[in-house]
Structure 1
Amino acid sequence: MLATPDGGGLAIGVAFRGSVMQLPIRSIWVFHAAARAGSISRAAEELSVTPSAVSQQIQALETQLGVSLMSRMGRRVVLTEAGERYFATITDEIERIAEATGLIRGYRSVTTLTVRATPTLSNKWLLPRLAGFMDAHPDLEIRLDGTNEPTDFKREVVDVEIRHGDGRWPGLFVEPMAEEAFLPACAPGHVPDGGVEPADLVAYRLIHSVKSQAQWSRWFGLAGVDTAERWRRVLFDRSHMAIDAAVSGMGIALESTLMMEKELATGRLVCPVADPPGVRLVTQWIVCPHDQLRQRKVRLFLDWLRAERDAWQQRHPGGMAA
């Protein structure tokens, strides 16, 4: 049976061993929106209702379930332990209901997958490949958020992040993206034909990525080169800017083969040293809350991402350029 409770939400009666259990669908939907947004006001804006209406629906659901699902912390809401379990359990079903409803109405159902990644990985590695994922999954709408700011998954609506760092983020699912090799790279013709020795690089303008985990001082140390205290240099806070600067002939960059893949493959960048010392690091990590691994859209994206990563590693064993 269908009933309309005082709160205005739709309830579905389900027979269970001779009794009827009311499912407050409206309240469940509102709770899901607030939990996903981490904010009563943001959920109200999304649902085109007032914040007080959102609070009333959540309170009605808590009364029916007999547990507290949310607590307020300033302007945002935080899920209780019971709320986290409930949100994780219902999320897939909410997405299925939304998809089925869209199909019945005659519209193509769209589920949004929000991916946050560093600007350089977004620009240099994800974008050239992303069309393949979208073609394979036309029911998914992709939002790519390119930033170095780490995600607060309890407050922000982000499904998966590819985060720059050391991989130490307790409480989250963390998987290494790939081992990268860092090499000197410059435009063809920037150094004499035949290349130069590592010690010769100090005579050139060196491009520095100030946030990179691989710096010139470390590379020169591995090469056994004592460098002057002051170099001719230009500094960027984004690796994709350093890569583009090297392509333009501004100087020699020390960058990752993962990020320079296209430029190396097309010959717009070359390594000026015949046998460079290897700096190998994992700097990019796949990150999300463990509960989000249950979502179909997240599983599809991670499966695709791993396949693309494995294909890259096969072409570049050890992270080195072919």
Structure 2
Amino acid sequence: MQIPVKAIWVFHAAAQAGSISRAAEEFGVTPSAVTQQIQALEVQLGVSLLTKMGRRVVLTEAGERYYATITDEIERITEATSTIRGYRSVTMLTVRATPTLSNKWLLPRLANFLDRNPELEIRLDGTNEPTDFNRELVDLEIRHGDGRWPGLFVEGMAEETFIPACAPALAAEASLKVEDLTRFRLIHSVKSQAQWPAWFKLAGAQPANRWRRVLFDRSHMAIDAALDGMGIALESSMMMERELREGRLVCPVPDPPSLRIVTQWIVCPRDHLRQKKVRIFLDWLRAERDGTKAQ
């Protein structure tokens, strides 16, 4: 069966724009020509892809599935074509990382990597959603979890130390006993592998049955809340590295118990390790990680 490449591109343009007329302008044809291409594609696939809603067109359920499936491939073809035409003289490296690691650890270091590797550009995708490497154009991921993903290359970023932290205006460094913490609002990262009850148990303390708290589903939000004086957060010193170094966050407890966990993992298919751009980034990540551990 011959693949209707032109019709697929026309459908993608119409679906992306939500408009037959805008797709027609993009291809320099009439709206009726766009409609004919899409109808021919629907006949070949045996499903309806688009339906009209006023002046716009919207995807059917089958259309949504088809659009999601072909989009990555169309973007890949577009980038490859631009490269061959000479529009790009650099190599694109796509990295997916958790929002907290992206914001608090990776971004402050990224200029250093780019300066050292001018032939590379980075697309950083900050999300907690795990990559489907069979469908998505991601070269390497730094994933939050327990490190158990069979069939993939997996390497721990670093063993993180989780400590209480707050703005010095709320409580000075080493000024509180463990029992004093529940006098303050405690900031919870609900998806974190380190939680306040486990930390209190490790500290040998029995906290009050009720305490004031605020909950966030992203650790970088919890860190920013602590910076704003909202309360005391239990977070990774690796993710708070800059704030602790600059004195904008302090640990209010002297000699806090050591709650240490590996929560961030470098992940990719093993065949990606054969790509030079992946190896360069991985070597740089390891050097930065080891520099963090040595501090």
The verdict on a shared fold, with TM-score over 0.5 as the criterion, is: yes
Give the fraction of aligned pairs with identical amino acids, expressed as a percent. 67
Which residue is equivalent to 1:148? 128
Q: Residue 257 of structure 2: which of 272, 277, 289 is its match?
A: 277
Q: Residue 256 of structure 1: which of 236, 248, 259 is its match?
A: 236
Distance 1:192 1:210 in 2: 26
Report if aligned partners of 1:98, 1:109 keep a CA contact under 8 Å in 2: no
- Length-normalised TM-score, structure 1: 0.67
User: Secondary structure at 2:154's aligned position in 1?
Assistant: strand
Note the alpha carbon deviations across 1:52-78, whole angstroms, 9 max, x for none. Answer: 99xxxxxxxxxxxxxxxxxxxx8488x
User: Secondary structure at 1:138's aligned position in 2?
Assistant: coil
Q: How does 1:77-92 map to 2 (within 5 A)?
A: none
Q: How far did 1:110 drift? A: 2.3
- Name the amino acid aligned to 2:96: R
- Give the unaligned 5+ runs of structure 1: 1-6, 8-29, 31-39, 54-73, 78-94, 316-322
- 2:95 equivalent to 1:115: yes
Report if aligned partners of 1:124, 1:260 keep a CA contact under 8 Å in 2: yes
Report if aligned partners of 1:108, 1:139 keep a CA contact under 8 Å in 2: no
Distance 1:135 1:175 in 2: 25
Distance 1:257 1:245 in 2: 15
Note the alpha carbon deviations across 1:259-298, whole angstroms, 9 max, x for none. Answer: 0001000000000001100100000000000111111111
Which residue is equivalent to 2:178? 198
- Length-normalised TM-score, structure 2: 0.73
- Give the unaligned 5+ runs of structure 2: 14-26, 28-36, 42-64, 70-79
- Name the amino acid aligned to 1:254: L
- 2:276 equivalent to 1:296: yes
Note the alpha carbon deviations across 1:6-35, whole angstroms, 9 max, x for none. Answer: x9xxxxxxxxxxxxxxxxxxxxxx9xxxxx
- 2:190 equivalent to 1:210: yes
C-alpha change, 1:275 and 1:287, in structure 2 (3 Å) is same
Note the alpha carbon deviations across 1:229-284, whole angstroms, 9 max, x for none. Answer: 22100000000000010011000000001100010000000000011001000000
- 2:282 equivalent to 1:306: no
- Name the amino acid aligned to 1:308: E
Which residue is equivalent to 2:153? 173
C-alpha change, 1:225 and 1:291, in structure 2 (3 Å) is same
Q: How far did 1:140 drift? A: 1.5
Which residue is equivalent to 2:267? 287
Report if aligned partners of 2:142, 2:264 keep a CA contact under 8 Å in 1: yes
Report if aligned partners of 2:173, 2:251 keep a CA contact under 8 Å in 1: no
Distance 1:41 1:135 in 2: 39
Note the alpha carbon deviations across 1:293-318, whole angstroms, 9 max, x for none. Answer: 11111111101111111111111xxx
User: Secondary structure at 2:197's aligned position in 1?
Assistant: helix
Instruction: List structure 1 runs of 4+ shifted beyond 2 angstroms.
Output: 50-53, 74-77, 191-194
